[in-house]
């Protein structure tokens, strides 16, 4: 029997952390289902990365990200949200006509309101006079979410479940069920029972991680931060052994405490995971497609 063709894509628009690494934009992942892009997180560089993906042939984004009209936010940390004004304004300036729909934790409605207020002079100016930009593409329909099914259309069903990111008490991971693939995005989180429940048997598990080699090189305070905010290579291997994804994708490598980067490389992280996990695993880079 011929294998079913997979059409849903996962595009890594940004795989970075708060560290301003020139080779990695801030956290942003897109799922393209039915030819429609669905964005998870909007770290710095989001629109330029979407434009780069478009130039590489991922046409679903549209020129300058103009086709991104639905986005989801895992939590309110700055490295996941600094690109929000860019996501609202730049695609509109470049021609987006549809409102942007955003689903995220408590605080996303206030953040949206304040961004629109901060740029009100720009918006008014572009909508008037010789600019004549449309009045709809700069509007945002923001929704504050709770655990459960938060979005459904003809392409995807999106389920939010609680993450564990210490002081970010209202944090989420997401499961996307498309017609041909199931994809789980961890966001920033320490291990949780919910991840074992919702990621079990998924096609792709996109999960953050930190290397134990770098963990052992930092202060006790930094170690405590990692344990309460993030997932170690050993913990992620245990999660993957329990849920058995068809592919494990590592992104957003945590390096709190500023351990030497040589101890936090893709190679070290993958080697640590493979010590106890035999399934397929890759370390993602910006613009990788799965």
- What range does the domain containing 64 cover? 9-283
Determine, yes or no, domain membership for 156. yes
Q: Is 288 exposed, middle or buried (0-12, 13-18, 19+ CB in 10 A)?
A: middle
Determine, yes or no, domain membership for 4. no
Q: Are strands 36-40 and 140-144 parallel, antiparallel or unpaired?
A: unpaired
Determine, yes or no, domain membership for 1. no
* CATH code, domain with 42: 3.60.15.10
Number of domains in the chain: 1
For 132, 151, 162, 198, 256, the CA distances from 236, given in Å and listed in that order, are 51, 27, 17, 15, 17
Q: Which residues does 182 contact at the CB level (< 8 Å), separation at least 6?
A: 175, 176, 201, 202, 203, 204
- Please state the pTM of the whole predicted model: 0.94
Determine, yes or no, domain membership for 261. yes
Q: Measure the CA–CA gap between 45 and 78, rounded to whole angstroms.
A: 13
Determine, yes or no, domain membership for 228. yes
The DSSP bridge partners found for residue 221 are none
Determine, yes or no, domain membership for 2. no
DSSP structure class, residue 59: G
The DSSP bridge partners found for residue 176 are 158, 183
Q: What is the per-residue pLDDT for 2?
A: 41
Q: Measure the CA–CA gap between 174 and 185, rounded to whole angstroms.
A: 5
Chunked mean pLDDT (size 10), the chain, 290 residues: 67 92 94 98 97 97 96 97 98 96 98 98 89 93 98 98 93 97 97 98 97 85 84 97 98 74 85 97 98
Determine, yes or no, domain membership for 3. no
Phi, psi of 209 (to 5 degrees): -170, 160
Determine, yes or no, domain membership for 290. no
């Amino acid at each position: 029997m011929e294998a079913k063709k997979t059409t849903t894509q996962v595009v890594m628009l940004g795989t970075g952390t708060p560290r301003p690494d020139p080779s990695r934009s801030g956290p942003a992942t897109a799922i393209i289902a039915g030819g429609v892009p669905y964005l998870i997180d909007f770290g710095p560089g989001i629109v330029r990365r979407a434009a780069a993906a478009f130039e590489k042939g991922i046409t679903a984004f549209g020129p300058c990200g103009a086709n991104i009209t639905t986005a989801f936010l895992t939590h309110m940390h700055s490295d996941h949200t600094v690109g929000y004004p860019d996501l609202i304004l730049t695609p509109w300036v470049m021609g987006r006509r549809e409102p942007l729909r955003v689903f995220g934790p408590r605080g996303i409605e206030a953040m949206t309101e304040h961004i629109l207020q901060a740029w009100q002079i720009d918006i008014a100016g572009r909508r008037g006079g010789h600019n004549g930009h449309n009045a709809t593409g700069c509007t945002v329909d923001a929704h504050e979410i709770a655990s459960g099914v938060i979005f459904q259309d003809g392409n995807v069903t999106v389920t939010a479940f609680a993450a564990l990111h210490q002081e970010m008490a209202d944090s989420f991971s997401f499961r996307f069920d498309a017609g041909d693939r199931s994809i789980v995005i961890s966001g920033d989180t320490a291990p949780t029972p919910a991840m074992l429940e919702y990621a079990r048997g998924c096609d792709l598990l996109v999960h953050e991680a930190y290397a134990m080699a770098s963990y052992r090189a930092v202060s006790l305070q930094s170690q405590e931060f990692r344990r309460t905010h993030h997932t170690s290579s050993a913990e992620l291997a245990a999660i993957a052994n329990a849920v058995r994804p068809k592919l494990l994708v590592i992104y957003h490598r945590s390096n709190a405490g500023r351990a030497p980067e040589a101890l936090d490389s893709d190679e070290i992280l993958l080697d640590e995971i493979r010590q106890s996990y035999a399934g397929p695993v890759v370390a993602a880079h910006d613009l990788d497609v799965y």
